Amino acid sequence: MKRFCLILTLCGLWGILLTAVFAQVPRTGTVRGNIVDTSEAQLPIEGVLVVMVDASGSEHETLTDNNGDYKISGLTPGRYLLSIYRAGYGDRTGKRVTVVAGGDHYVLMKMTKKAGLIDLLPEEFDSSPWLFLLCLGGAFVLGYLIGRTSRRSDH
């Protein structure tokens, strides 16, 4: 009977030891990185939406901080498509990333700034919308006056 209790105790301790060892094995991975613009200075971009989509269509999202850094943890191992979005920049979609258990994957990405009408305006308009509205109103008045003058000369 003593032997049976000793064997049972040893088996129980062995089971606890195995459970502790396997419980420490990571079952998920992490993807982190940095997003910068395509200028020579490669400036970090804040507020970029980073989306990871797995094979089943589940999405995991985060935003970049003021240094352009992002981190998504708790990803189950597998293949993902990484996409990034930010107003004023061209979207980057479909970069393949394979996540492994316990992995800490670093993915650097670059975004190109779009050259729209607003981007062509001087930087002074960014800080003062009133200056922009004043110029827009002036252009409207000038167009109106030119239109009136051209109608008078037609008569």
CA angle 50-83-58, nearest 5°?
Answer: 80
Average pLDDT over residues 31-60: 93
Q: What is the pLDDT of residues 94-142, one digit of tens each?
A: 889 999 999 999 999 999 988 765 555 555 555 566 666 666 777 777 7
* Confidence band for 78, pLDDT divided at 50, 70 and 90: very high
**What pLDDT sits at residue 108?**
92
Say how far apart CA 23 and CA 21 lie, in whole Å: 6
**What pLDDT sits at residue 83?**
94
What would the two tokens of residue 33 be?
């990185």
Contact 111, 86 (CB under 8 A): yes
Amino acid in position 63: L
**What pLDDT sits at residue 140?**
73
Of 52 and 117, the structure prediction assigns the larger pLDDT to 52
Contact 111, 92 (CB under 8 A): yes
CA angle 103-78-107, nearest 5°?
Answer: 50
Range with top average pLDDT, 20-24, 69-73, 128-132, 133-137 = 69-73
Residue 87's nearest CA partner among 125, 118, 53, 132 is 118
**What pLDDT sits at residue 138?**
75
Residue 152 has pLDDT above 70, yes or no: no
pTM metric for this prediction: 0.60
121's enclosing H/E stretch is: none
